[in-house]
Structure 1
Amino acid sequence: MDAKLSAFNTNINSKYSQGIVLRESLQSPERFWLDQAKKHISWKVLPKIAYSYPSSTQKHLVKWFPDGLLNVCYNALDRHLPEHHDKPAIIYKSPVSLTSQTITYQHLYDSVISFTKVLVKHNISAGDTVLIYMPMIPQTIIAMLACARLGAIHSVVFGGFSASEIAKRIDDCRPKVVLAATCGIESGSKIIKYKQFVDDAFKIVRFKPSVKIFYQRDMYYTPLDYSLGDRDWNLEVANASNITLPPIDFFDSNHPLYILYTSGTTSTPKGVLRPSGPHAVNLVFTMKYFFGLSSNQTMFCTSDLGWVVGHSYVCYAPLLFGATSVLYEGKPVGTPDPGAFFKVIQDTKANVFMTAPTAMMVLRREDNNRTYRNKYDLSSIKGYFFAGERCVPEIAKWWVNHTLNTNMVLDNQYNFGNDAYSIDHWWQTESGSPITGICIGTSENSNQIPSVRFGSAGMPLAGVDLRILKSSDALDTESSTSNLIEEADAGTVGNVVIKLPLPPGFFSGLWNDNKRFNESYFTRFPGFYDTGDVGYIDKDGYVYIMSRDDDIINVAAHRLSTSSIEEVVVKDKHVAEVCVIPKPHSIKGSVPMAFAVLNSQPATDITLNISNLVRNQVGAIASLYPQNILFVSRLPKTRSGKILRKTIRTMVAKAMETAPNFSTLSPVPSPPTIDDPTIIQDIWKAVVAHYSEMSSKL
């Protein structure tokens, strides 16, 4: 299989500079990555070894640049000061607090040094853990960098997580200190009281850190209880000002930079460990070659710092690269209007913009006629990038026309030429940076850059030996393994895997859980990293990530991804967004069930039209019956914009179990990541109404 794939990659990618880079990184990984490490990072001890692992059977334990020593904070700040001390490092835009601030590299460095002294005062040193529970404010980045400077391992918890979720993470990573803001702000009128969540978490934790340092925000200035370990951020900085810091220390390349827990679950969250050196090398590589940025340019990523995208492309990557990062505290709409993102682009002259497809769907619903978009100059942008979940072709095409202010009829492929690129790409918390996408920085010649194919997440990035393995229902659980691993043909949907060893920057383990690390990712397909996603590669090498493994619908023994159905449903002009889940069926096993949000009220019933669209474009086997299309006012989402598909799927299963004796309240609790818990009850009512109507027709 190895020889076949190598020939396949060579054939499909050789005409693009991105493909040439990929081939070089796979054929000569030692030379390729040592070159990148030397080019982009300042090392105390320059690595001479690219990678090593214990044995040929343990390639998942790869260590990149094992003989190198570095400090990530030094690379993000100190090394830029001689020539760029007055250059903007962070542009903070907070429409919810009516705040705008430009922070230079010198100012950021001084602030990090001041807070590093606070951590030293509280006996934080290399290897200690620090939990950070803060919103999109400069102090969050200051805290992250101060930890990195000392070699302490930070764990940022997404703002607004419940007390129980905070407690789980405290008990798992056992931090010496908890850093928090007193509140987050959703809008001018909605305050999220972080202080209360932290206090409630401390009532239920088994492990109690001795100190909680709170950054007091004007919107929720609250009394602190020093007897319970509460401390005031600004007072701590003032009281530690006379501390003399020892010379900066440098750490092993594979020293953990941070722990980032995968989004809340009913079991113990998985604490993804990120190795410092490999991550730094890959981040700078992607800034230059993937996003096509230069160090005098500006990146605007809308992700929260509590998620992996925010870690990588709001905090670390722009600063390691010496560029400017936009730190945005707000939403795509409502803070104050659907022009919020575009106003920030104009004000900051951002060159790259990155957001989630969900935000694009919201903007399509709220600004479809470009009333707000056309108020702003977007000429500084060279690339729009979106990730978080699959961007269906209809939304991607709409975004191109929306941002370019055109009304083109777009086919499935588009060459942007001199226009600003719009690029879907794919990555995971575990990867720490993009796995696939279209690299716009590998060549200045647009002919050397692959065209965008709508629905595709691009092509593999450097170091990613991506494969599609034939799917088998016997392999639908993490505990299953296969001795017959076979590569799928081009265009055939299967399990998306990456051949080991993983490239630099991927996670190096799970915090204190080596057994789970091995079983969750490397047991099912020996010799490969199991991404947990399904998709396919077309004959030209474009990768299509369709859905998670558990978002596959098995209709009469035919495996269909929910995403392939969703992308057809939104072609109906009335549909703004949709979530498709499997509904149990007595004969076919499962059939699709669609929950759709409308952007305009149709004059007549459109369920038959949607059903026919799916029948014609996916196939009759898809079996999306009109009665299984439900219209709802909104979909349950995480605070980062991902649709909570599993929650909806569980509701449908519960309704089937209990029919016709439905409970008034939803039997499915609100996930800790949910943006608005009240939506759960709305969806439950829709599900109950559906099954009640079905029962009345029997």
Structure 2
Amino acid sequence: MASRYHEVYQSWKHDPLGFWKTAAEEIDWVSTGEKVFDPDQGQYGRWYPDWECNTCYNCLDRHVEHGRPGQPALIYDSPITGRTASYTYSELLEEVEAMACVLADHGLVKGDRAIIYMPMIPQAVMAMLACARLGVIHSVVFGGFAANELATRIDDATPKSIIAASCGLEPGRVIAYKPLIDQAIDIARHKPDSCLVFQREELAADLKPGRDHDLGALQAEAVVAGRRIAPVPVKATDPLYILYTSGTTGQPKGVVRDNGGHMVALKWSMKYLYDIQPGEVFWAASDVGWVVGHSYICYAPLLHGCTTVVFEGKPVGTPDAGTFWRVISDHNVVSLFTAPTAFRAIRKEDPAGAFIQQYDLSQFRSLFLAGERADPETVNWAIDQLQVPVIDHWWQTETGWCIVGNPVGLGLLPVKPGSPTVPMPGYDVQVLDDAGHPLGANTLGNIVVQLPLPPGSFPTLWNADKRFFDAYLAEFPGYYKTADAGVIDDDGYLSIMARTDDIINVAGHRLSTGGMEEVLATHPDVAECAVIGIADKLKGQLPCGFVVLKAGVDRSHEEIEKELIKLVRDKIGPVAAFKIAITVDRLPKTRSGKILRGTMRQIADGETWKMPATIDDPAILDEITEALKTHGISV
């Protein structure tokens, strides 16, 4: 069908307030006000300023009241434990109300904060919804985060309670959470009143009398007693949650998400961007500790009346590179949303796609990628193997939902591998030079969004309005600075080439590391790669490419590295000065799969660096250091 995108986007540009007022009709409000947007509130204005709502009610109660009580709301699938579970909307509401009663019993009321420190289990989603029911502001911290990082977040959010699980599970090991929590509370200046711990059977935690409580037992008692608790009305502009971005240095930034605009944007996106119908199974293979988990594991599918999947596993190794296809087949998933790094891992282990043939994927119709740049090689491999649209889209923790994408629900636009396609309604995306002047088509520059940001985007940082302004609004007045660099082509398609920090200056030429990564990824032996700029006295910076090879490649690394250097020279030209290619077994990544390019550059340049709080395996940085030394780079 012909896409309605251009018509819908222009309707937003013509009447933005009317557009978002109509979109708000999909939400059940406690009360509505005269204004859709107040430009005089907050840092750049606030959406639905005098409206009242409750997010938990919209996710659960209204579906129970209007015909979905017996439909599955949440499916839990854990290849690590071998357990699955399913909760209908009615059952999930019962569990969430019970947990909300427990929180209320421990003194949590509207406006209080609670830190949620849990793995990928149903109770993590229940805790988020229970907080939302009470108007309590939740801050989910990735389970297993180091104690000092957790302490930093405790001091910033000053939670009344920590809601936790006793442990998390990785392939072959159990991670005890309670010692990390105890250590964090010891370090932190702020002391939470209580710690509510869900005891997992793999490892029970020792509970300290007075402060610690068995959340599972208390929740079960509340269910048996049939306890109910009404959703608390909150302002649309009241915070729903705080999510800390994982900076490698300094104080993490607490991104604030409000209640009203968040619901409106996510509900719109499920229908018009993802093309999902109420009642269908939607799976975001992320973690609740990240923004994707907040938006598209917990909130958006439930707002839309869908079934969401909580998956406790990995794309490879639990038990093999076919686990994603098994989950899709077992649970009739129609659409998967994951990070490109997951598909690079699957492609590395199963380049021929043999596992895909073992499962019935007949109901599966779309794959969405986000989290970092989706290189064309990975996108094309996924298209060839799955025979469904593979949609790259770009957004950030700060925005909470898609900035640039391909709106399947409005009719698919032509796919250009390497580009996340076009801006969504609400986002006027432009490319500026460093002085803030607009650049022409196909010219690399700073990607910005004209203010105001749309509903769903962050209004500020927690207790840090000045930091919000300085970090995001000051450099380009009238615009939100994304800190990404890219180009817009003649068709209006955006391509993200790198973080602005990753644009390197080689002998006066501004070059994109992302463009070089695209070239390296075309080599038939390369599974994934990362390019960084390292300091050079003569040229300022030189590109250095790290590559991980596909499983089964038995050619010499030296031979492949020579081919890679020639490949970049042929495709980009001598201007790139690409002379360093290094083969490694693996790349350092965050737990959400983002490659830690900044830390790699600091190591290569011999700078003092701090262990990233979000790193998946710190030992990989030692491997990178040794690989650099082997190639004659003094670190």
Specify if TM > 0.5.
Answer: yes
Per-residue deviation, 1:19 = 1.8
Structure 2 counterparts to residues 232-251 of structure 1, below 5 A: 232-238=214-220, 247-251=230-234
The answer to whether structure 1 residue 564 and structure 2 residue 515 are counterparts is: yes
Alignment partner of 1:50 is 2:36:
yes
Q: 1:234 to 1:208 in 2, by over 3 A?
A: same
1:619 aligns with 2:601: no
| Residue of structure 2 equivalent to 1:652 | 604
Residue 127 of structure 2 is aligned to residue 164 of structure 1: no
Q: Is the 8 A contact 1:574 1:602 kept in 2?
A: no
The answer to whether 1:231 aligns with 2:213 is yes
Normalised to the residue count of structure 1, the TM-score between the two structures is 0.88
The question of 1:676 aligning with 2:628 is answered no
For residues 421 and 379 of structure 1, the distance between their equivalents in structure 2, rounded to whole angstroms, comes to 14
Partner of 2:280: 297
The 3-state SS of whatever aligns with 1:384 is strand
Letter in 1 for 2:446: N
SS at match of 1:236: helix
Any idea what SS the aligned residue of 1:509 has?
Answer: coil
Structure 1 match to 2:418: 455
Q: Which residue pairs with 2:139 in the alignment?
A: 155
For 1:117 and 1:247, how far apart are their aligned partners in 2? 10
- Between the aligned partners of 2:200 and 2:247, the Cα distance in structure 1 is 26
Other-structure match for 1:25: 12
Cα 1:201–1:264, aligned 2, differ >3 Å: closer, same or farther?
farther
Structural mapping, 1:188-207, within 5 Å: 189-207=172-190
Which segments of 5 or more consecutive residues in structure 1 lack a partner in the other structure?
Answer: 1-14, 405-419, 444-448, 473-481, 658-666
Q: Answer yes or no: is the 8 Å Cα contact 1:117–1:243 preserved in 2.
A: no
- The Cα of 1:623 is off from its aligned counterpart by 0.9
Q: Which residue identity lines up with residue 441 of structure 1 in the other structure?
A: G
Do the aligned partners of 1:670 and 1:680 also contact (CA within 8 Å) in 2? no
| Counterparts of 2:501 and 2:554, CA distance in 1 | 32
**Residue equivalent to 2:535:** 584
- State the Cα distance separating 1:377 from its structure 2 match: 1.5
2:595 corresponds to: 643
- Deviation of 1:170 after TM superposition, in Å, equals 0.2
Write the deviation string for residues 269-326 of structure 1: whole angstroms up to 9, x where unpaired: 1000001100100001000000001002110110100000000000000000011101
Q: Residues of 1 paired with 2:456 and 2:439: CA distance?
A: 27
CA distance in 2, matches of 1:542, 1:275: 30
State the match for 1:413 in structure 2.
none
Q: Distance in 1 between matches of 2:331 and 2:183?
A: 39
1:427-485 Cα offsets, whole Å, 9 max, x none, are 00000001111000014xxxxx3111000011000111110112x3xxxxxxxxx5xx3
Relative to structure 1, is the Cα distance of residues 89 and 245 closer, same or farther in structure 2, using a 3 angstrom cutoff? closer
Does the 8 A contact of 1:582 with 1:591 survive in 2? yes
Q: For 1:622, give the aligned amino acid.
A: A
The answer on whether the counterparts of 1:581 and 1:645 sit within 8 Å (CA) in structure 2 is: yes
1:279 aligns with 2:262: yes
Q: Does 1:609 align with 2:563?
A: yes
CA offset at residue 668 of structure 1?
4.2
Within the candidate set 204, 209, 215, 2:198 is matched to 215
Q: Secondary structure at the match of 1:274?
A: strand
Task: Please report how far the alpha carbon of residue 513 of structure 1 lies from its aligned counterpart in structure 2 after TM superposition.
Answer: 0.5
Q: C-alpha separation between the residues in 2 aligned to 1:668 and 1:274? A: 31
| Aligned counterparts of 1:329 and 1:235: Cα–Cα separation in 2 | 22
Amino acid aligned to 1:31: G
Residue 486 of structure 2: aligned partner: 535
Q: Give the distance between the partners of 1:49 and 1:103, measured in 2 at CA.
A: 38
Structure 2 distance, partners of 1:597, 1:529, is 35
**Deviation larger for 90-99 or 242-251:** 242-251
CA-CA distance at 1:265 after TM superposition = 3.1
* Deviation readout 1:190-225 (Å, 9 max, x if unpaired): 112111211111121110102111111111113212
Mean Cα displacement is larger for which, 166-175 or 679-688? 679-688
Opposite residue 459 of structure 2, the aligned amino acid is S
DSSP 3-state at the match of 2:129? helix
Structure 2 distance, partners of 1:641, 1:30, is 37
2-side partners of 1:349 and 1:244: how far apart? 33
Task: State how far apart, in whole Å, the 2-side matches of 1:16 and 1:618 are.
Answer: 34
Is the Cα contact below 8 Å between 2:369 and 2:391 reproduced in 1? yes
1:361 is paired with a residue whose SS is: helix
Contact 1:165–1:264, Cα closer than 8 Å, also in 2? no
What SS does structure 1 have at the residue aligned with 2:408?
coil
Instruction: Give the letter for the 2:408 counterpart.
Output: I
CA distance in 2, matches of 1:265, 1:586: 26
Q: Distance in 1 between matches of 2:227 and 2:331?
A: 37
- Are the counterparts in 2 of residues 367 and 373 from structure 1 also a CA contact under 8 Å? no
1:76 has 2:62 as partner: no
1:235 Cα offset (Å): 2.8
Number of aligned residue pairs: give it. Answer: 629
In 2, the alpha carbon distance for the partners of 1:247 and 1:596 equals: 54
**What does residue range 416-565 of structure 1 map to in structure 2 within 5 Å?**
420-443=388-411, 449-470=412-433, 472=434, 482=435, 485-565=436-516
Give the alignment partner of residue 347 of structure 1, picking from 300, 306, 330. 330
1:574/1:601 contact within 8 Å kept: no
For residues 288 and 386 of structure 1, the distance between their equivalents in structure 2, rounded to whole angstroms, comes to 17
* 1:363 Cα deviation from its structure 2 partner: 0.8
**Deviation for aligned residue 1:47:** 4.0
Tell me by how many angstroms 1:369 deviates. 1.5
Question: 2:33 & 2:365 partners in 1: Cα distance?
Answer: 34
Task: Say if 1:367 and 1:47 are closer, same or farther in 2 by CA, change over 3 A.
Answer: farther
Q: 1:520 to 1:669 in 2, by over 3 A?
A: closer
The whole-number CA distance in structure 1 between the counterparts of 2:393 and 2:457 is 16
Q: Give the aligned partner of residue 343 of structure 2.
A: 360
8 A Cα contact 1:34 1:48, kept in partner:
no
1:582-629 CA-partner distances (Å, limit 9, x unpaired): 01122211110011111123256122221121112122211111xx11
Amino acid at match of 1:142: M
Distance 1:290 1:323 in 2: 15
Tell me how far apart the structure 1 counterparts of residues 102 and 267 of structure 2 sit (CA, whole Å). Answer: 29
Q: CA RMSD in A?
A: 1.6
Which residue of structure 1 lines up, in the alignment, with residue 89 of structure 2? 105
2:97 and 2:227 in contact (8 A); partners too:
no
Deviations 1:383-435 (A, max 9, x none): 1000000011111111111222xxxxxxxxxxxxxxx2101100000000011
Tell me if structure 2 keeps the 8 A contact 1:491–1:537.
yes
Secondary structure in structure 2 of the residue aligned to 1:155: strand
The answer (yes or no) to whether the contact 1:133–1:179 under 8 Å persists in 2 is yes
Mapped to 2, the partners of 1:172 and 1:436 lie a distance apart of 31
Cα distance between partner residues in 1 of 2:5 and 2:398: 23
Shift of 1:238: 4.8
User: Are 1:37 and 2:4 counterparts?
Assistant: no
Query: What's the offset of the Cα at 1:372?
Result: 1.1
- d(CA) in 2 for partners of 1:652, 1:94: 39
- Alpha-carbon deviation of 1:557? 1.1
Find the residue that maps to 1:77 and give its secondary structure: helix
Cα distance in 1 between the residues matched to 2:33 and 2:23: 11
Instruction: Report the Cα distance in structure 2 between the residues aligned to 1:342 and 1:460, rounded to whole angstroms.
Output: 30
**Distance across 1 between alignment mates of 2:64 and 2:336:** 26
* Paired residue secondary structure (2:394): coil
% same residue: 44
Structure 1 distance, partners of 2:93, 2:330, is 24
Amino acid at match of 1:607: E
SS state at 2:431 partner: strand
C-alpha separation in 2, matches of 1:183 and 1:237:
18
**1:7 matched residue in structure 2:** none
**Is 1:391 paired with 2:374?**
yes
Q: Which residue of 2 aligns with 1:12?
A: none
